[in-house]
Structures are given as structure tokens and as C-alpha cells.
Amino acid sequence: MSPKSDTCPTCDDLNNKILATKDNEEKYQEYEVEKELHLRKAEKGQKNIQMQTVQAKNDSKYHVITFDLQQALPTPKISTRPAFYKRKLWTYNLGTHNCGIGVGHSYVWNEIGEKRIRGNSKLLEKSILMTFMETLLVAISDNCCGENKNWNMIFFCLWVISGRFKRIEQFPVPGDTMLPNDRDFAIVERYVRWQVQCVYSPDEWICVLQLSAKSNPFKVVQIQQSDFISTTELNLFLQRNTVNKNKESIQLRNCASMVFQESEPFTVTFYEHTAGEIQCAQK
């Protein structure tokens, strides 16, 4: 069996607990049940992606995308041993996948123009989101609180829905669910492993991305600093309310989906096990 990388932390934690409690039948069964429940949730997330994709293929006003940030790409990429210890120039690839037509998009930038997106600083404007108008958009991501379940992402969705979409639904899925982006990234990594010996400049990574998928090439867009927007003004304009209309506290980390509607521009509907609504009121 080959070694695995980027494994699910929940599965790793439960597997270790199961191995450590083989002599304790009660605890062993408890962790086995917890793991089975976790895997069923992941399976449900995978089926949800498949169902949404089928609907997107049959309805021109219904769009489904997935998005994720690929592991940073180093420059230079060379085989010389001392280079491993040297400071690298990093290139970043925000991958989106249009599930309705089965096309992957890569939005690429590097440290020369703009450093890695930080949670409280900037978000991309020049993206596939801007190509859909007057439609229902379903945006599916992984379940990372730091990247995808935070107030900057919520404020960005509230901003982008204005005049563009009727409704946005975002579904952060469990760690075991494979996104189409993960398959796109795997294609790039396989191509780099077998076809690319060296990379000497960030621009070469754009060529690598363009050439990596033979049958269905990725649409690669080079991002400039002017293509970013700041969320600072949105944070001043919108208030972070962490309670719903019933004054009940809602934790973003427990969120299973978020819904944004043009008809209610300052309201986010969060779904956990039960529906909860947070008002993001204008200051």
C-alpha cells in the first residue's frame, strides 16, 4: 500500500483512537460508530455534488462550481539539493470547476504582484463568479473554517450577489469528500511529476497549468494586483451578528450550508442540523 498525503484529520484522529482502545470494548465501539457516522456524512456530501451537477447540466439558469486553493507552487523548482533549503518564490492557483460543463479554471498569481490571500485582507474579484448573471449559483468548497467559513467570505458573497445573482448557496463539505478541484490538482501534480524537471520562473507555471490537462485543458487566468478587492470597507459597512432572529448563538464552524438571496441583501441563512438565520445588518 502506497503512503497517503493530505488525509482527513477526523479520520486520522478516529483511527488512532480505535487502535489505542482495542482492549476497551466500550470505547472501541464508540469510536467505530463515530467514524461510521463521519464517513456517511462524507458520502452524503459526495452525492450532493453529483445531484447538483446533474441539475446544472439540465438547467441553464442553475450553475454549480467548486473552488479550492491548490498547494503553493515553488519557483525555482530544480533538482539541485541546496535549493531545497533556499527561500522560494511562491505561485498560487485558485482552482474553480464549473460542474455543469466540466471545465476547470485556474486563477494564478505570485508573490511579485500580491502575497497569499489572508483572511482579513483581500478576496478575488476577477473570477468565474462574474460570468454568471441573474442565476442561482451553488458554490461548493471544503469545510475549512479559516479559508471558507469566515466573515470575509460571508461579506464577499453578500457583496457579489447584489445585481448579479438571484441566490447563492454555499456548501462546505466534510474532509473526506472529493471535490472536482482535487481531481484537477491531481492532474497538474501528475504532469509535474512525470513531465516537468525544472521551473525557473512563475510564468512557466502558467504554461504547466495550460499543458497539464490534454483532453480538457484548464482555462488559465493570470491575476494582477488590481484584480483583488479589499474587504476592509465591507467590514466597516456590515455588522457581524452571531445570533439568529431568535437570539440564539450560531457557530460558523458548525455550519453545513449558507444561503444568500438578492431579495434579502443583508441576511444570511445558516443551516446546521436545524435552520438558523443571522441578520448581517447595515451599520
pLDDT in tens, 123-158: 555 555 656 655 788 888 877 776 777 888 888 888
Using a 10 angstrom Cβ sphere, with 0-12 exposed, 13-18 middle and 19 or more buried, the burial of residue 270 is buried
In the predicted structure, residue 1 carries a pLDDT above the cut 70: no
Q: Average pLDDT of the chain?
A: 80
For residue 215, what is the DSSP state? S
Extents of the domains making up the chain: 9-279
> CA-based angle 251:253:255, to the nearest 5?
80
pLDDT in tens, 160-215: 777 667 677 776 666 667 889 889 999 999 999 999 989 999 899 999 999 999 88
Q: What are phi and psi of 92, to 5 degrees?
A: -115, 140
Question: Any idea which residue has 436545524 for its cell?
Answer: 274
Q: What are phi and psi of 5, to 5 degrees?
A: -135, 160
Alpha helices in 164-201 (DSSP H): 180-195
Report pTM. Answer: 0.82
In the predicted structure, residue 4 carries a pLDDT above the cut 90: no
3-class secondary structure, 17: helix
Q: C-alpha grid cell for residue 57?
A: 447540466
pLDDT in tens, 229-268: 777 777 788 878 777 777 778 777 777 788 888 888 788 8
